[in-house]
Structure 1
């Protein structure tokens, strides 16, 4: 049975010594902390030679008393010494209220932190893109490691499952473009130019851009959540242990699926948006479908279709890399999975819009207008 903790004050070599005995545990301390607090005289040392057992509460009691009295701890066992040193390492003052920071300083600090995080993320994303290229080259050299089943499954998840929501979104966007354009053009008696607006804007920009945003929200977030969960459950570490490359088994199938499906989804979205615009033109502007199609063939150059199909796979690479990169960055806990998933969607949409602006300037410069 554990003996209750006790103390005795002694005088050794002209200095006062507190000798503790018994068990220094939370169940056996009893009134020992109060008795130690009552000690006020100069104390040279605290002797733990007669202690049979000590826990964290007992170690904290000894450390607090030694710090208050300026005494040193002697005759402590190795375990007791390590526990007391560990407790002492966490004995640091903590501010109850944060230091006051001026609004200007706080704003500048937040801007600086955002710039640093953006730069770090950009460098990491470029490094991840390089790792993907290296894995792709390795897969080309060893085609037997190519996982066709995984790619086909991602085709279904990224492409087939998204047809419904992308079709509905594109149809409604086509209606909105036609309706808003006709309202403005009606002031000049040029409602027929609504067909030009719907056709060129859809094939050149909105069809692929809105598809990229939708795929980023659906597939990019799913990639980040899936890989992040696998990081937390150490499945990715297990894959590396058995000699399977996570880049080849997880990242490349997803990237390839998005790159292949984005042009198809973009073309599908453009066609459905055209149908939506034609529907509104037939209902609100009394433009027959045959006239709509004939006018569309006259005013929409084939280069507009090429522009959309060229941008689509680039957007797919950005979406897949952003989702997989953020998923692979999960380290701490389940909360970070949600944060990384949100970051993947925001990052993918932002980069898609930035790259789209560069494409717009480039195609105008080469004469595809």
Structure 2
């Protein structure tokens, strides 16, 4: 039977009679009835629940709107004719409504304060990452020094395998990229210098830029994107699969087993790739000079030999081992930071690439200023 609610004015005083089934099936009609009763009764009007039949949470919510949670809970206690289930439901709703409180909205902070907080958190994160990197670099150096006196602990198979992956497999892309960049630098130099009748100095521009900066910098950036990310993904996957914990359980050092071979491999690969990048860039510049400026390869080599000293080549090459060590260390460290999920592997792989490129560029800028001040 559909539920109903009406004010019985035949009795004295008037009373509010609740009857029928107050369930979800009759919710629409009951909602209209309770809305129509607004203003026809007050808190002192007697309530008759004798004829109340079935009751569910939807009907109980309408009764709360009609009578209020506190009065409904009191009626549930004072109406022994109610079924036990209905009485328990009304008491539970009364208790929950009594305990419920609207959460207090925290005052919003000013935009300037929020900006300063974000800047502060970012600076703190950078500081902590720097400390972690310095500590990890010290740990790798300690392991390298200790193992240098124990040849039996050298893992040459792993080192050679990583040299192939980081050096030999990367040679084509390094050569192609630096060849194209050398051609672009020569073309731009020829376009600008031709206005001043100094096209011949395009040879010096290409050689000077690639021997001192572009060769090692482009190679290091490529290794940061290619190798550092690979190191992070490999070690991060092992961390996610708990293989790192298994290595420690076997009494082995993860740094000695996983990090040192990768560092040694990149220390060998990056200087070789840097030399290849220098040659490819100069060859790219020579091709453009031969095509656009009518500078023959023989003349190009003659100008290169007479104007460019060996010290420029050494300045570029001396930076390669430092870049290699930092790129490998950052890539491995980010791999050890992986927490165990695929999302964490992706996040730390991205972080390793960004950090490696940032550190390489900053270190290259510092080295350039140092060599300039030293007159080298």
Q: TM-score, normalised by structure 2?
A: 0.74
1:140 corresponds to: 148
| 2:314 pairs with 1:306 | yes
1:316 maps to which of 312, 316, 324: 324
Which segments of 5 or more consecutive residues in structure 1 lack a partner in the other structure? 1-29, 44-61, 71-90
Cα distance in 1 for residues equivalent to 2:337 and 2:180: 37
1:346 corresponds to: 354
How far apart are 1:134 and its partner, in Å?
Answer: 2.1
Distance of aligned partners of 1:208 and 1:35 in 2 relative to their CA distance in 1, 3 Å threshold: same
2:167 maps to which of 159, 162, 176: 159
Residue pairs, 1:46-125, within 5 angstroms: 100-125=108-133
How far apart are 1:146 and its partner, in Å?
Answer: 1.4
| 2:236 pairs with 1:228 | yes
Cα deviations by residue, 1:241-290 (Å, 9 ceiling, x for unpaired): 01111101101111111111111110110001000000000001111010
Cα distance in 2 for residues equivalent to 1:254 and 1:92: 59
The answer on whether the counterparts of 2:231 and 2:332 sit within 8 Å (CA) in structure 1 is: yes
Cα deviations by residue, 1:87-126 (Å, 9 ceiling, x for unpaired): xxxx99889x996444323322221121111001000101
Cα distance in 2 for residues equivalent to 1:267 and 1:64: 79
CA RMSD of aligned residues (A): 2.8
The answer on whether the counterparts of 1:36 and 1:65 sit within 8 Å (CA) in structure 2 is: no
Which segments of 5 or more consecutive residues in structure 2 lack a partner in the other structure? 1-53, 65-71, 77-90
2:73 corresponds to: 40
Look up the SS of the partner of 1:350 in the other structure.
Answer: helix
The answer on whether the counterparts of 1:158 and 1:261 sit within 8 Å (CA) in structure 2 is: yes
How far apart are 1:69 and its partner, in Å?
Answer: 5.8
1:239 corresponds to: 247
Residue pairs, 1:282-301, within 5 angstroms: 282-301=290-309
Cα deviations by residue, 1:52-92 (Å, 9 ceiling, x for unpaired): xxxxxxxxxx999866567xxxxxxxxxxxxxxxxxxxx99
How far apart are 1:367 and its partner, in Å?
Answer: 2.0
Q: TM-score, normalised by structure 1?
A: 0.75
| 2:234 pairs with 1:201 | no
Cα distance in 2 for residues equivalent to 1:301 and 1:151: 34
Q: Which has the larger radius of gyration?
A: 2
Cα deviations by residue, 1:28-58 (Å, 9 ceiling, x for unpaired): xx98878998872499xxxxxxxxxxxxxxx
Deviates more, 1:99-108 or 1:229-238: 99-108
